[in-house]
Amino acid sequence: MTTPQITIHDAITGEIITRAINSAELAQLEADKAQTEKTAKAKEKADKALADKRQTILDRLGLTADEFQTLVG
Amino acid sequence: MAYTSSQVVQAVPTGINSALVYIASGTATSAASVALTNIFSATYTNYKLILSDITSTNDLADMYMQFGTSATADTAATYNSNGVAASSALANTRYNLATYNFVGRNMGTTNNYLDLEINSPNLASRTYFSSRFFSNRSAGAETVLMVGNKATNTQYTDIFFSLSSDNVGFKYQLYGYANS
C-alpha cells in the first residue's frame, strides 16, 4: 500500500515539500474514512427503508410510481 | 509618507478601505493532504482564499479544512461547522466533525470550486470562516454553504485541506483585507 502524501506550499519562500504523512495524521485520516463509510452505509440503509415504505404504500393503492407522480404532479 | 519596497506592494490608495491585497497563489498537486503554510500573519485580520479546479480522486468525497502552525495541523476537536447543501439542512452528525471544518461534499473528480472567507486566524482569538462550495459532480452536484469556527485562541499561520477519501489538488489565490 502506498503511504498517503502531504504537500506543503510555503507562501513566503515558494518552497514545496512533499512527504509521507506521519502516524498521527494517518490515524486521523483513517478515522475520517471509517466515519465516512459508516455515514454512507447508514444513509444507504435509510434510503432503502424509505423506498420500501413508499413501494408498500403504492402496492396498497395499486398504483405505479409513474401513475402516482401523474396524480400529484 | 515614505514606503519600504514591501509596503509599496501592499499600499492601498487613499480613501479606499478594506481593499483586497494579493498575498499568494499557486497550484497544489494532488495529495492526501495539502498545506498552505505561512499565509496568515499579523498584517491582516480577514482573508479571502479561492480554490479553483479542485480535483478529487473519486466522486462523492467530502472536503475538510484545518488550521495549523509550523506545517502541523491542529487536530484538537474544537472545530465547529454548520450550513446547508442545496436546500437541505446539514445534520450535525455528519457535518460538524469536531476535528475538521467541513467545507464541501459530493465532489466531482474535477473543476470543483471553493470560495472561503476567514476571520482572525493569526490573532489570539477564535478563528471563524464562511464558505461557498460548488460541486462539479454530474450526478447529484451540490452547492454547499457553510459557516463555523475553530474554538481556540491559537494564532495560526497555515491552512490544510483534505478529503474524506483519496487525494485533493487545486489552484489557489489568497488575498488579505486591508485593515484600514
Domain that holds residue B136: 18-177
pTM: 0.79
Q: How many domains does chain B have?
A: 1
| pLDDT value at residue A1 | 57
Dihedral sign of CA atoms A21, A24, A28, A31 in order: positive
Which of B60, B101, B165, B173 should we substitute to test contact with A (largest number of A Cβ atoms within 10 Å)? B165
Between chains, do A7 and B39 touch, taking CB under 8 Å as contact? no
User: DSSP label at B164?
Assistant: S
How long is chain B?
Answer: 180
Q: How confident is the model at residue B18 (pLDDT cuts 50, 70, 90)?
A: low
Q: How confident is the model at residue B1 (pLDDT cuts 50, 70, 90)?
A: very low
B76, B152 Cβ separation under 8 angstroms? yes
Give yes or no for residue B154 having a pLDDT over 90: yes
Q: How many domains does chain A have?
A: 1
* Least confident among A24-38, A41-55, B3-17: B3-17
Residue B79 is assigned to a structural domain of this protein: yes
Distance from CA of A52 to the nearest CA of B (A): 22
Between chains, do B33 and A33 touch, taking CB under 8 Å as contact? no
**B165: β partners:** none
Mean pLDDT score across all residues of chain B = 87
Percentage with pLDDT > 90 across chain B? 62
Q: How many CB atoms lie within 10 A of CB A11?
A: 20
B12, B22 Cβ separation under 8 angstroms? no
How far apart are the C-alpha atoms of B165 and B180, rounded to whole Å? 41
Mean pLDDT across B143-161:
95
Residue B1 is assigned to a structural domain of this protein: no
Pick from A9, A29, A31: CB nearest B32:
A29
Starting at the edge strand found earlier in the chain, the sheet holding B112-119 runs B20-31, B168-177, B46-56, B112-119, B127-134, B143-150, B79-85, B88-89
Pick from B31, B35, B165: CB nearest A33:
B165
Q: Tell me the backbone φ, ψ of residue A12, rounded to 5 degrees.
A: -85, -50
User: DSSP label at A28?
Assistant: H
Chain A residues with CB inside 8 Å of B35's CB? 6-9
Distance from CA of B116 to the nearest CA of A (A): 17
Domain that holds residue A49: 5-72
**Chain B touched by A2 (CB under 8 Å):** no
Chain A residues with CB inside 8 Å of B33's CB? 4-7, 21, 25, 29
Mean pLDDT across B133-143:
83
Percentage with pLDDT > 70 across chain B? 85
